[in-house]
Amino acid sequence: MSVDSVFVHKMWNDNELSKMVTGGVPFPMLSDSGGRVGTTYGIYDADAGVETRGRFIIDPDGIIQGFEVLTPPVGRNVSESIRQVQAFQLVRESKGAQATPSGWKPGKMTLKPGPDLVGKVWEVWKTSMAFDE
Amino acid sequence: MPEDFKPGCARPTGGPVGDTPVIIEPESASARKEEQKPMIQVGKKAPDFTAPAYIQGKFANVTLSEYLGKWTLLCFYPGDFTFV
């Protein structure tokens, strides 16, 4: 979503993005001219008249589970967004019984918060696990 | 004379120059601003909206709540053609 019109979205997709992604952008390219949606989400820069790089993870119940906002010159990390969605999906499937420690990604250990784990995380989880190998 | 500018990753925009104009806001406008205060918090509902969209060769109105039941990523960006 940006403040551009759907006509500009079409030009950008058809003339540039479709040359990077086969078949073009597969999801809706939303237009928010006037920035009203961006204002509601707190990412509209009224001085510049544009929206900043805000990204919101919304779960199947319509609840915001996470967000990230960057200023214009730095692009996002799509892999990190996907990792976060995978982590939230795991937590949701376990109905909150499991939690994903720092640096978790699919295949890495999760933690089961409870009375027995209090003060004992250091025994089962090492800081090296927070990083990619 | 128009001066060249270097295109960056924010959509180029202009603005008023010279003395800052005094803007007297009617009361209703400031009340509206109050209403539009960001209400974003993790663990809270994502504000619903409808917006026009370009989707694979077609124009259509999209409503966020149509995506209930799915994991959804809502991404904002400064503008088309802004490089990154």
Could you read off the pLDDT of A64-90 as tens digits, one per residue?
A: 999 999 999 999 999 999 999 999 999
- The beta strands (E) that lie in chain B are given as 50-55, 58-63, 72-75
Closest chain B residue by Cα to residue A45: B78
For A12, which of B45, B78, B81 is closest by C-beta distance? B81
**pLDDT on residue B24:** 72
Structure tokens given for B1: 């004379």
Helix/strand/coil for A42:
coil
Q: For residue A72, what is the DSSP state?
A: T
Question: Is A45's pLDDT higher than 60?
Answer: yes
Question: Is A31's pLDDT higher than 80?
Answer: yes
Q: What are phi and psi of A120, to 5 degrees?
A: -115, 5
Q: Do A40 and B54 touch (CB under 8 A)?
A: no
Question: Is A102's pLDDT higher than 80?
Answer: yes
Q: What are phi and psi of A99, to 5 degrees?
A: -130, 150
Exposure string for A20-54, b = 16+ CB within 10 A, e = fewer: eeeebbeebbbbbeebebbbbbbbbbeebbbbbbb
Distance from CA of A50 to the nearest CA of B (A): 5
Q: Do B64 and A66 touch (CB under 8 A)?
A: no
**pLDDT on residue A108:** 95
C-alpha–C-alpha distance, residues B54 and A28, integer Å: 6
Q: Tokens 């995380």 sit at which residue? A: A121
**pLDDT on residue B18:** 81
For B51, which of A31, A42, A57 is closest by C-beta distance? A31
**Cβ atoms B75, A43 nearer than 8 A:** no
Q: Confidence band (pLDDT; 50, 70, 90) for A22? A: very high
Stretch among A81-85, A109-113, B19-23 having the lowest mean pLDDT: B19-23
